[in-house]
Amino acid sequence: MHNDKRISMEDTWSAAELKRHLSRKKDEHDRKHRGGDSTERRHRDPDWESTDKHGDRRDARNWDRKEDRERRRERDRQDRHGHDSREDRDKRKDQMRHDKDRLREGRDEEDRHKRREDRERRREERDRERRTEQDRRTHEEREHREGDMDLERRREDKERRREERDRRTHEETEDREGDIDLERRREDKERRREERDRERRTERDRRTHEREHKEGDIDMERRREDKERRREERDRRTHEEREDREGDIDLERRREDKERRREERDRERRIERDRRTHEREHREGDMDLERRREDKERRREERDRERRTERDRRTHEEREKREGDVDLERRREDRDRRERQEDKKHSRAEREQHRKHKEERRDETRHKDRRHHDERRRRDLEEGAEAVRHRRGDEEHAERDRRRERRHREDSETHPRDGHQDKQSPSQERKSVKKAEEHVMHSGDVAAQEAGDAEQPVAIDESLQQYEDDFEDYEEDFEELDEKDKGGKEEEEEVKAIQRAMGEENQRVRASLSSLSREEEEKMPEEKSSAQKPGRSSQRGKFMDFVAARQREVIKKVSSKQKKRSAELLRLIDLDLSTTMSLLDLPPVSEYDMYIRNFGAANTKQAYVQCNEDNVDRDVQTDEIDISDKWTQHPAEHCGACGDPSGSHDTRDMSGVNLDSRRLAAFLRSASQVMVVLLEEDHAQRTSFKGRSTQTDTLSFSDGSVQLNTKLPFLDGRTISVLHFSPVQRHTLLSVHQPASSPGAVVQLDHCSIICIWRIWEPSRPQKILLVESEVTCCCFSPGKSTLVFAGTSIGSVGLWDLREPDGDHKRLKVGEDEWTFRRPTFSTDALSAAHFSSVTSVEVLPASVPGRPGSEVPLLASEEELLGLSFQLASLDESGLLNIWVVLQLPKANEAGSQTDLGLRPGGKVKLLHSSSCVMSEGAWPWLADKSVPLQTLALKFLPTDCSHFFIGTSMGLVRHGTTQGLKAPPKFYSSQDFGARLVDVSAIHFSPFRPCLFLVGCGDGSVRLHQVSCDKPVTEWTDSTAGEAVVSLQWSQTRPAVFCVVDAASNLHVWDLLKKDSGPLVTEHMDRLTAMAAFGDPGQQNAYSGIATAQHSGKIEMHYFTHDFSLPSYEEDETLERISQAL
């Protein structure tokens, strides 16, 4: 036999063969890949045709491979030397393809034989397997039972178990009943197939004819369609159940179906062939069938195993998940326990009940089906006895499917086939052993079933169920037959399309029926643990079938009512879609707000603000108001019409005051003089008393003396040549200091004479200091106020000083600590042509020609001055006898730049001398001098105080010439001594008496003093020996007493004459220390008259001696005495 041989061949592959086989396999793989079909894709391919084809091809390939191998081996054997087994790849491929095609047909025939064999064998094995299955399943039971259980009971258990199993498998699927039917039908089919095989073996021809006949039958057709539909449904269910995981399985199963169909087709073909060569192939067909059955058995075994494990898993899950459903759970547990522990009696009763329930429900739910299949059922009733056995076959059928599936899976995993075969071969043997037993059991089963039916009160239900199952099986049987009858693929496809349509229809119907009752279950349709669903639904179905129906009715009624209501209402009202209503719109809080909310208020408080708010700067933009008190006076007589009481003189308005600065200066000058004099007088009076007290001892006539301060640095070492008092201002004294013989303190002044003007009341310092370049021989004051000083010098010039000039105009020298102003002459006659050419011996101011008494001079002088101003005449006499008369002119305006015409005038000076006339005393007038060759010298000049035209000149001949300025002749021309006419003796001094202007004293160089009267040429009195022959240096009448006069001789003796007391000689003669000059002073007009003499010593000391009252106070008889003396002449 081929099969045996092949198996044996496969079992005993040589190494080389294996290698070849593997390489070829690899080639096949490559080819597959080149085709672009991966196994995965092929598995998932929705097109069943293609997948089936692939599967076919693969199966065929498997077959091919075996046979090819065989053939190749044979071929190799045949042309081992001629051909190389590995000639050319393409060639071989082509050949292989060719072989394949060729072989497929051959294989079909082989298959047919094989399958027949298989079928027989499989039946045997199935029985055997069933027993082993039972054994295995009831392993525990059997252990307890110890094999003493009778067959019937065992069969019953088996049945029951199978029922449960069936139920569970049905529950797995959504469409429970359909599944069960399917299963059952499949079982039936199996069984029927077995029977058929058996029949076929015995009376094959008849059956084939019958089948052909039946093909035309519509009933048969419908049945077949039903079967197809159910199969599809199952496929769909399995597809749904095992969505992802079992997708492959689904596919596989479909392929299985396909395969099965193909097998059937093969079978059909085989049958046809059988018809043709039924005799010949009888045995082969048997074998084929047998073999197929074996295969089936094997597959069923595997499937069974698989399903059991599946079931276990499901129950496990169920247990875990559905703890709440205690009742159900317990029941199932009980069931399990029953299965395992073989609690026989109890379980049987319950199981019977279960079955009853199930059947009831099935009745209810499948009334339609029943109706449809009444006819069939009736027919099935006849075969009812076999139902139980068929039912068992159902299980096996499922198992077969599973096994096939697994085998496919193994194939896809390229499981080594030989290993698989090795495994299978012992099981086949075992199955064949079991087969015999199974036959026995089958018979036993039938008996038991019948007995059970009799026992059960609701046996009819069960039988109905069985009938139904049987019917299904029957149907399947027909279907199988139909399929066998089918000619080719086209027909198959057509059938499939119809089946699909039918399945959908069926599904719809079933869904509408079962939807209400299964609503609760369908709430969780996607649950993968499909075991759960069947278990629960089966239980519920059993308890709530009627209630559910009633409910359904009620619900239907209510819903229809509501439907109507809603329909009516919707017509009345309008529904509209409201605008979107914003329930809450909370904008996101900004980061800062968030911070403030979280930390701003937490644990903190705002204590201070740093905005500098309180730092306010106050400022006012208006000026402060000044407040002051003011007063006003209504008639604004005063310049200051207003003022304030606080005495702020600054604010007083001074604009109204007109200042006459000149007047003020004059006022201040005079006032200051007065003040100074007053102060000096005070001082002098105080000191004079002391001085008197000290000086009285030395001088008999003196009542005291005042010493002028001549101890000045620039006066040091100078001898005083002249002392002169102003005739008007009797307290003004000038002293002429000769140029220094030895160098003094101020060198530049050494060659100059200095004239100091003193006030006797200010002995401390000289008032003014006048500076003359040459030796001053004589000087005099201006009449009136002593504002002008004239001086004649030894060089023949006459100088003039205006004492009114301010100090600032003159040169100031700092001598020692003090500053002194040295005044230069305002006017000098040096530049005048009419000036003297010999030493000027005397300068005299021509007295104003106003007759008046000397006593009333003072008031007259003021008026005089005012009348005349400063215009008066000055006469100067030099030694040559030239007498010049000058007019003193005061310029109205000073010229600071100096005068161009008046060359002697210093710049800024206002007083000048204008030469008016001159006369020479020497010519013609001197008769006595003609015979004398000695030149006449004119030594002194005096003017008659009452008539300024008469002048008296003392000469060196002891004579005094009397002359007039107009040239008029005056009676005595000469005044001579008593005894002698002219003799050579100098007239050194002439002095008119201040009280009697017609009397004058003449002092001579021989020491004689003569008193002359103007009208007589002979003297009144002549004192020849009064000075003891010493020359008279100075002779002065007293200013207060007319009878007193003082004579200083060259031997520094001072003789004082008082004609009242002694007219023969001097009354007092006092010897003084080297007297150089002497001047008498005194004011006769005043009550507090004083008089005295000022003496200058050689050392330069000036002392002022005040006469005692005897010499100063005049007495009445003095005038008489003088009268008498003058009368005496």
Residues that bind other proteins (CB under 8 A): 564-565, 568-569, 572-589, 593-594, 597
C-beta of 562 vs 1099, nearer to other proteins: 562
Phi-psi region of 1112 (alpha: psi -120 to 50; beta: other; left: phi over 0): alpha
Give the shortest CB-376-to-other proteins separation in angstroms: 46
Give the shortest CB-601-to-other proteins separation in angstroms: 10
C-beta of 569 vs 747, nearer to other proteins: 569
Give the shortest CB-523-to-other proteins separation in angstroms: 24
C-beta of 218 vs 602, nearer to other proteins: 602
Using alpha carbons, select from 809, 699, 820 the residue that is nearest to residue 757. Answer: 820
C-beta of 562 vs 856, nearer to other proteins: 562
Q: Which residue has the tokens 């009938």?
A: 467
CA distances from 443 to 148, 194, 294, 705, 770 (A): 19, 15, 21, 210, 200
Give the shortest CB-574-to-other proteins separation in angstroms: 7
Using alpha carbons, select from 360, 366, 322, 330 the residue that is nearest to residue 541. Answer: 360
Give the shortest CB-599-to-other proteins separation in angstroms: 13
Give the shortest CB-517-to-other proteins separation in angstroms: 31
Q: What is the 3-state secondary structure (H, E, C) of 753-795?
A: EEEEEEECCECCCCCEEEEECCCEEEEEECCCCCCEEEEEECC
Contact 368, 178 (CB under 8 A): no
C-beta of 16 vs 569, nearer to other proteins: 569
C-beta of 4 vs 585, nearer to other proteins: 585
Give the shortest CB-579-to-other proteins separation in angstroms: 8
Q: CA-to-CA distance for 1098 and 721, rounded, in angstroms?
A: 9
Give the shortest CB-551-to-other proteins separation in angstroms: 25
C-beta of 367 vs 565, nearer to other proteins: 565
Give the shortest CB-560-to-other proteins separation in angstroms: 12
Give the shortest CB-562-to-other proteins separation in angstroms: 12
C-beta of 81 vs 571, nearer to other proteins: 571
Q: CA-to-CA distance for 792 and 836, rounded, in angstroms?
A: 10
Using alpha carbons, select from 128, 115, 160 the residue that is nearest to residue 141. Answer: 160
Angle between helices 15-34 and 48-78 (to 10 degrees): 150
C-beta of 592 vs 608, nearer to other proteins: 592
C-beta of 575 vs 620, nearer to other proteins: 575
Using alpha carbons, select from 964, 963, 959, 986 the residue that is nearest to residue 975. Answer: 959
Contact 1079, 724 (CB under 8 A): yes
C-beta of 578 vs 900, nearer to other proteins: 578
Give the shortest CB-605-to-other proteins separation in angstroms: 18
Contact 1106, 1091 (CB under 8 A): yes
CA distances from 493 to 232, 261, 270, 679 (A): 13, 11, 20, 177
C-beta of 573 vs 616, nearer to other proteins: 573
Q: Which string of DSSP letters, residue by residue, matches 664-693?
A: HHHHHHHHHHHHHHHHHHHHHHHHHHHHHH
DSSP 3-state assignment of 900? coil
Contacts of 451-460 with C-beta under 8 Å, sequence gap 24+, read: 451/152, 452/156, 452/159, 452/352, 456/352, 456/356, 458/356, 458/359
Contact 705, 1105 (CB under 8 A): yes
Using alpha carbons, select from 1031, 948, 1046, 1040 the residue that is nearest to residue 991. Answer: 1046
User: Distance from first CA to last CA of the chain, Å, rounded?
Assistant: 240
C-beta of 589 vs 665, nearer to other proteins: 589
Give the shortest CB-337-to-other proteins separation in angstroms: 44
Angle between helices 344-365 and 326-341 (to 10 degrees): 130
Contact 333, 322 (CB under 8 A): no
Amino acid at 280: R
Q: CA-to-CA distance for 562 and 1084, rounded, in angstroms?
A: 176
Tokens of 778: 């004589």
Contact 346, 441 (CB under 8 A): no
Give the shortest CB-386-to-other proteins separation in angstroms: 58
